[in-house]
Chains A and B, each alone.
Chain A
Amino acid sequence: MGRLNWQLGEVIETQMETARSKSLSLAVPDWIGHQPGQHVDIRLTAEDGYQAQRSYSIASPPEDAERIVLTVERLEDGEVSPYLVDELHVGDKLELRGPIGGYFVWKVQIGGPLLLVAGGSGIVPLMAMIRHRQSVGSNVATRLIYSSRFYEDIIYRDELDHIASDDTMLELVYTLTRAQPPGWTGYHRRIDFGLLGEVAWPHEQRPLAFICGPTQFVETAASGLISLGYEPTRIKTERFGPTGGA
């Protein structure tokens, strides 16, 4: 495998996903490939030598060989995310290293049933898993429970609805925690033990769970699944914190 080195990627495309989040497509020469769920570290250097570094999950599946896509949410107080979302444009170079994190990885060979639990921008690594599953035409039974504040904040909403509309083995459960559009019949509260009890796979099926989002969200979801009888070794978590998306 070898030690990680910093590489230079070039921004070849950008696309706003929601008002605050943007996908950046990067061409990385000599990219060795990645697995769904892995991330890269991004490093920014100012002219005076000041550096800031953050980790971002790769949103694209490994089957998309020409580029890697990162989806970044701009945080109010952020140091790096405002630069990536507001300033960076096509043609700019971005220093990155990776892929990192063999632990938080799912590929179709691992099987299911698969439970994906996303809070806000925690959807990103899970989307790589969903896109990978879609790319290889897998029918591993998969449920995504995705918590967002508002309907407009749901990242990849159209794509998720489109994939699910054609795939009886992929189920989506959205919950909107702050406000709901008129006619909304879905969940409208934070993910909790009760909600998980209603929509998660029964533990008897020995599901594999991946939970990603802010720390508190992850801890609530993980303990909820454990209370539902999920095996702790079959729950993998990725907490976003100050180093993830700020």
Chain B
Amino acid sequence: MMDKLDGNAAGGILQEIFPFEMTLVQTTCTGCGVTNAIGELAVYMHGMGTIMRCPTCDNVLIRVVQAKDQYWLDMRGVRVLQINSEM
């Protein structure tokens, strides 16, 4: 049985792409408008990719696939990211 994880689990893959500590980054959901730290999102992570969902409405916020020396990143579920560049 696959369990969901907390946003911290996706910290590694996100920090491969973004040069910041990502789990503290704030995301606003396009589905329900709630803002959460990435560390608070529900993460579904397995061999196909990493899916991050809003803990309030389950909307997909961020999706990442990594294969063949590429990343595919979809952040359509995020209205805006708030990144503290000191992190």
Contacts and interface: CB of A to CB of B under 8 A. Distances in A.
A237 interface: yes
A240 B6 CA distance: 9
B4 A215 contact: yes
Report which residue of B8, B15, B24 has the largest number of chain A beta carbons within 10 angstroms of its beta carbon. Answer: B8
Interface in A1-58: 1-4, 39, 41, 55
Contacts of A244: 5, 9
Contacts of B5: 215, 239-241, 243-244
A215 B40 CA distance: 14
Contact of B8 (A4, A39, A97): A39
B12 A41 contact: yes
Interface string A218-246: 00000000000000000011111111100
A98 B12 contact: yes
A215 B3 contact: yes
A2 B19 CA distance: 4
Contacts of A236: 39
Interface of B, helix, strand, loop or mixed by DSSP: mixed
B6 A55 contact: no
B37 A241 contact: no
A241 B24 CA distance: 21
A104 B6 contact: yes
Interface of A: 1-4, 39, 41, 55, 97-98, 100-104, 214-216, 236-244
A97 to B, nearest CB: 6
B72 interface: no
Given A1-B87, A3-B18, A103 B7 contact: yes
Report which residue of A3, A100, A237, A238 has the largest number of chain B beta carbons within 10 angstroms of its beta carbon. Answer: A100
A4 B12 contact: yes
A133 B28 CA distance: 34
A244 B7 CA distance: 13
B81 interface: no
Given A3-B17, A3-B19, A101 B2 contact: no
A241 B40 CA distance: 16
Interface in B15-38: 15-21, 23-24, 37-38
B64 interface: no
Contact of B39 (A2, A98, A102, A240): A102
B9 A102 contact: no
